[in-house]
Chains A and B, each alone.
Chain A
Amino acid sequence: MKDLGDIAHPPILADGLVRLRELRAADKAAVVKACNDGLVERFCYRVPYPYHENDFVEFLAYNEHFWATDLMANWTVVDRQSDELLAMISLEVLPLRQAGEIGYWCAPWARGRGVMSAAVRLVRDWAFDELELERLELTTDVDNIGSQRVAQAAGFRREGVLRGYLTARERRADDVLFAMLPGDPREPLVGLPDPRLEDGRVIVRPFEPADIPAVRHACDDPDVAYWIHLVPHPYTLADAEQFVIESRRRLAAGERARLAIADAQTGELLGSISLDRFADRQAAEIGYWVKREARRRGVAVAAARLLVRWAFEEVGVERLEILTYPGNAASQALAEKLGFRREGLLRGFLAVEPGKERAGRAELLPDGSLPPRDDQVQFALLKADWTG
């Protein structure tokens, strides 16, 4: 790490899109407006809320000494041409570990344009190339999908979820820890390609909070609860909310795409289809359910065909698997219709779900008794066999 005594204050950084400069008194109106935004309130717990002009005045004064006393570099991110305030970004140097921590917020009027990622890249490059830091970190709330995309776009890698890491306005928040080392490629890290698939009849897309009531209605159905592992019955609104939240988090993390199936004409939620990746084998498992009113209309087949194509062509999977309970004839017929080949019975694959009937979930033992765990029938489709 370089001797920071040589650096009197953080420099101006710029690229073709944005300029990072010192905070000025004239920034007050824009900062106050940005900091009163709902997402800043939700995810930036250190920013006072509601945010008043006095908060800005205090921050401006504090900012004068930030670098000298706390090794905290703070920049206002402005439009390169117009000097319009777009975001704020900071780098805190942690000298003991020769590391740095980046923090930021983006004004609501500047989101979705690559402004924040551009700023993170500029700070990243200064930290590695000028300060010669050995490690950079940033943390984002586990539900802050936008911020996770910014981190990934700047090449940061997920290292883990820190449970209950922050106290955020009266509640504990889980944070995703991202980090980058000087030798890492300075390229965007792509998780899963954006899944928005359609064929004119169905749309397969990420879940939205607005889907929660429809998920609740669809899953509060004995058939869904019976044939789909780990769906509780009765199924409450809280269960549906957790389902949607987890789906969004896991999609953002690139581990699993659990997606909504919607009617292409009406937008009505019809079901869900998911792709669970086993990255080390270039394989993935497909799972799905369709709500009672939408069955026998080819919805599952249509959604599955879209997902199979996406998996082979965009996600880079070489082998797809479908697992079903032995008694789920409908699901097995669908697997075969998609060209999957039955590979065998995986005995004792799943734990018994307490409170659920076992009929059709496990093959009886020779003496006619039920085994201690449930079976799954495995089907698989290889990319090499896929006819498109």
Chain B
Amino acid sequence: MDLRGIDVPTLSDGSLVLRPWRQDDAAGVAAMCDEPSVARYIPVPSPYTLTDGEEWVGDAARKWSEDHWAQFAVTRSETGELVASCGVKLDVERQSGEIGYLVKKEARREGVASGAVRLLIAWCFDELGLGRLQIRADPANTASRRTVEVCGFQYEGLLRANDVIRGERTDDVVYSLLPGDPRPGR
């Protein structure tokens, strides 16, 4: 898989737009992430400041070029309003990727997460030709588990004490999707 010359793209389904982060997104990121329900399952700083937001958007280009980690701002097509953040970390050697996302509190229960994940799936399988996608979630994060199951991901197992979030060890459940798996639509 040759990623040279490939930029983080803009992806859209008519309702949501996934696009690269811009410097002027920093305040929106800070507002979105400075929220206990976001910090609960995601290793973001808590509290989350404007400086944290500036660091996040400022580091996005390096994350792609050095770590093959594509990160996207998720916005509404109509208004451009920032509603979520998502990304996929590519493993070039294994030709696989791990998807992660968080949704602004006020934009939940609208299908934003599944919409973003579906756009990422299409990019990863149909454009990049990856052989496997993976998502991890806290076992207690039922909303996220429902999202990934709705997108067709299959449960593979429980990883004990797999991750550390702000100093505390947490379990993960891991799900995968392969190119040949059914991809339930909307």
Cβ-defined contact, A179 with B159, below 8 A: yes
B96 partner residues in chain A, CB cutoff 8 A: 164-165
Q: List CB contacts (< 8 Å) of A152-166 with chain B.
A: 157-166
Task: Take A134-B169, A164-B176, A165-B96 as given contacts and tell me if A159 and B164 are in contact as well, using a CB distance cutoff of 8 Å.
Answer: no
Cβ-defined contact, B95 with A167, below 8 A: yes
A134 partner residues in chain B, CB cutoff 8 A: 161, 164, 169
Select B159's contact among A161, A167, A172, A177, beta carbons within 8 Å.
A177
Question: CA of A244 to CA of B124 in the docked complex: distance in angstroms?
Answer: 34
A306 at the interface (CB under 8 A from B): no
A96 partner residues in chain B, CB cutoff 8 A: 164
A28 partner residues in chain B, CB cutoff 8 A: none
Select A135's contact among B134, B158, B161, B178, beta carbons within 8 Å.
B161
Cβ-defined contact, A97 with B132, below 8 A: no
Cβ-defined contact, A98 with B159, below 8 A: no
Cβ-defined contact, A163 with B94, below 8 A: no
Q: Which residue of A lies closest to B157 (CB)?
A: A160
A162 partner residues in chain B, CB cutoff 8 A: 132, 134, 156, 174, 176
Cβ-defined contact, B162 with A135, below 8 A: yes
Cβ-defined contact, B158 with A159, below 8 A: yes
B45 to chain A, nearest CB (A): 15
Task: Take A97-B163, A134-B169 as given contacts and tell me if A164 and B158 are in contact as well, using a CB distance cutoff of 8 Å.
Answer: no
B9 at the interface (CB under 8 A from A): no
Cβ-defined contact, A177 with B160, below 8 A: no
Size category of the binding interface on chain B: 20 to 34
Interface residues of B: mostly helix, strand, loop or mixed? strand
Task: Take A160-B156, A161-B156, A161-B157 as given contacts and tell me if A167 and B164 are in contact as well, using a CB distance cutoff of 8 Å.
Answer: no
B186 to chain A, nearest CB (A): 25
For A96, A157, A166, A181, the residue with the greatest tally of chain B CB atoms inside 10 Å of its CB is A166
Cβ-defined contact, B157 with A163, below 8 A: no
Cβ-defined contact, A159 with B159, below 8 A: yes
Cβ-defined contact, A172 with B162, below 8 A: no
A90 to chain B, nearest CB (A): 16
B49 at the interface (CB under 8 A from A): no
Cβ-defined contact, B154 with A97, below 8 A: no
A164 partner residues in chain B, CB cutoff 8 A: 96, 131-132, 176, 178
Task: Take A164-B178, A167-B95 as given contacts and tell me if A172 and B158 are in contact as well, using a CB distance cutoff of 8 Å.
Answer: no
B134 partner residues in chain A, CB cutoff 8 A: 162
Question: CA of A116 to CA of B94 in the docked complex: distance in angstroms?
Answer: 26
Interface residues as binary, A203-224 with B (CB distance below 8 Å gives 1, 0 otherwise)? 0000000000000000000000
Question: CA of A99 to CA of B134 in the docked complex: distance in angstroms?
Answer: 19
Cβ-defined contact, A179 with B160, below 8 A: yes
Interface residues as binary, B170-181 with A (CB distance below 8 Å gives 1, 0 otherwise)? 000010101000
Select A166's contact among B94, B158, B176, beta carbons within 8 Å.
B94
Question: CA of A179 to CA of B156 in the docked complex: distance in angstroms?
Answer: 14
B176 partner residues in chain A, CB cutoff 8 A: 162-164
Task: Take A97-B164, A98-B164 as given contacts and tell me if A165 and B159 are in contact as well, using a CB distance cutoff of 8 Å.
Answer: no
A236 to chain B, nearest CB (A): 21
Interface residues as binary, B122-137 with A (CB distance below 8 Å gives 1, 0 otherwise)? 0000000001101000
Cβ-defined contact, A159 with B160, below 8 A: yes
Question: CA of A97 to CA of B156 in the docked complex: distance in angstroms?
Answer: 20
A99 partner residues in chain B, CB cutoff 8 A: 162
Question: CA of A160 to CA of B164 in the docked complex: distance in angstroms?
Answer: 20
Q: Which residue of B lies closest to A96 (CB)?
A: B164
B156 partner residues in chain A, CB cutoff 8 A: 160-163, 177
A274 to chain B, nearest CB (A): 24
Question: CA of A134 to CA of B168 in the docked complex: distance in angstroms?
Answer: 11
B100 to chain A, nearest CB (A): 14
Question: CA of A146 to CA of B154 in the docked complex: distance in angstroms?
Answer: 27
B52 to chain A, nearest CB (A): 18
For A98, A157, A159, A166, the residue with the greatest tally of chain B CB atoms inside 10 Å of its CB is A159
Question: CA of A151 to CA of B132 in the docked complex: distance in angstroms?
Answer: 25
Q: List CB contacts (< 8 Å) of A107-136 with chain B.
A: 134-135
Q: Which residue of B lies closest to A183 (CB)?
A: B161
Q: List CB contacts (< 8 Å) of B29-63 with chain A.
A: none
A160 partner residues in chain B, CB cutoff 8 A: 156-159, 174
Cβ-defined contact, B94 with A165, below 8 A: yes
Question: CA of A166 to CA of B178 in the docked complex: distance in angstroms?
Answer: 12
Residue ranges of B at the interface with A (Cβ–Cβ < 8 Å): 93-96, 131-132, 134, 154, 156-164, 169, 174, 176, 178
Task: Identify the 8 closest CB pairs spanning chains A and B, nearest first.
Answer: A160-B157, A160-B156, A159-B157, A164-B132, A164-B178, A163-B176, A135-B161, A181-B161
21 A-B residue pairings within 8 Å (CB atoms): A96-B164, A135-B160, A135-B161, A135-B162, A159-B158, A160-B156, A161-B156, A162-B156, A163-B132, A163-B154, A163-B156, A164-B131, A164-B178, A165-B94, A165-B96, A167-B94, A172-B131, A172-B132, A177-B156, A179-B162, A181-B160
Residue ranges of A at the interface with B (Cβ–Cβ < 8 Å): 96-99, 134-135, 157-167, 172, 177, 179, 181
* Further contacts, 20 of them, CB under 8 A, given A157-B160, A161-B157: A97-B162, A97-B163, A97-B164, A134-B161, A134-B169, A135-B160, A135-B161, A135-B162, A159-B158, A160-B158, A160-B174, A162-B132, A162-B174, A162-B176, A163-B176, A164-B96, A164-B132, A172-B131, A177-B157, A179-B162
